[in-house]
Amino acid sequence: MYPKLIINLEKIQENTEILYGRTKKCGIEIYGVTKGCSADINVARRLINGGCSCLMDSRIQNLYSLRKGGINVPLFLLRIPMLSELSALLDIADGTVVSAEESIAPLETICRARQKSMNVIVMVDVGDLREGINPEDILRVGTSLAACRYVHCIGIGTNVGCFGGILPSAQNLSTLVTCKAALEDSLGYQIDVVSGGATSSLDLISQHIMPSEVNNLRIGEGILLGTNLMGYSRIIEGLHRDAFILEAEVVEVYVKPSKPFGRIGMNAFGQAPHFEDKGRRLRAIIALGRQDVNPDGLTPMDEGVEILGTTSDHMVLDVEGCTTAPVYGQKLRFLMNYSAMLMLTTSKYVHREYV
């Protein structure tokens, strides 16, 4: 069945092992992030085999899937929890990140009623302006956590790059380290985890400027795709970039004008498209659309293939440059970025094959 994701589990494990080896030399532990592959259980097992001591995901449903699939390492919620899901969180997770001070008291109440503990990592905003408390509020949050009996703070962390595009640096991670000391003072006990970000923070290791106090990274993209979308260098040296390959089937091949003719209005997505007139060219359509993936995240592996645009169900390609013209029923292959992988693994219309 097509479209199809071909997932190479050996390459995923090898990527994990390589990054585990590099970070271990710096005293850094890897938590594997499974949200990029919608918590695929086969992928999750390879993350653990490769050295990940904990798995994190942004969706409680995915954590349920991991546990149901036999994953027995600690599971953490990666997204700050909603008030409405705190009870469900306690059912399945060993821990969660937190940032809203208002979430601490109700989480403690639920834990006390269930006589069950919950580990938390306090997120601090060091400049990206996504989740995280302001550094000046760390003492107040620590005081709230110190009053808890069942909610136990095990660490402090930050997120950079995902919202504001702010890159990790020795300076902003030093702010995190400073906050750790202040948090411990208000807690009255020491915390073990200093989580200095995600895949983009790997650059600081290669540049030898990672603060020595940072001992944890949350890695998804680097393991799954061998890339670092937000980093100084987009390609992580020595890693496989083709652990995930998309195959889609050609459903039409015709020579057509390169520029639509007639009165032009908005397309199906409310956009006013623009086309360069290159004359008549060979075009192909594959059975893949925006319901499955954002085309901007795909890179054709077949030489001479160019993505022209996508509707909800069809992707239009210029294949004039192909040495051999594609034919009806042929399969074309694509590499993907993190965003495309996220969408493809979420779509119920995209099938998976493991090699």
Residue type, 340: A
At residue 165 the predicted structure's pLDDT band, cuts being 50, 70 and 90, is confident
pLDDT higher for 229 or 29? 29
Residue type, 227: T
Q: Active-site residue 116, yes or no?
A: no
∠ CA 342-346-348, rounded to 5°: 150
Chain-wide mean pLDDT for the chain? Answer: 94
| pLDDT, tens digit, 9 for 90 and up, residues 38-61 | 999 999 999 999 999 999 999 999
Tokens in use for 68? 């149901």
Please give the pLDDT value at position 237.
93
Please give the pLDDT value at position 259.
81
Domains assigned to the chain: 9-225 (3.20.20.10), 244-354 (2.40.30)
pLDDT higher for 13 or 127? 13
| pLDDT, tens digit, 9 for 90 and up, residues 70-104 | 999 999 999 999 999 999 999 999 999 999 999 99
Q: Rounded to an integer, what distance in angstroms lies between the CA atom of residue 76 and that of residue 185?
A: 25
Overall pTM > 0.85? yes
| pLDDT, tens digit, 9 for 90 and up, residues 6-17 | 999 999 999 999
CB atoms within 10 A of CB 88: 16
Residue type, 295: P
Catalytic pick from 4, 11, 24, 35?
35
Q: Rounded to an integer, what distance in angstroms lies between the CA atom of residue 350 and that of residue 214?
A: 38
Q: Rounded to an integer, what distance in angstroms lies between the CA atom of residue 82 and that of residue 64?
A: 17
Are the beta carbons of 247 and 4 closer than 8 angstroms?
yes
Are the beta carbons of 338 and 243 closer than 8 angstroms?
no
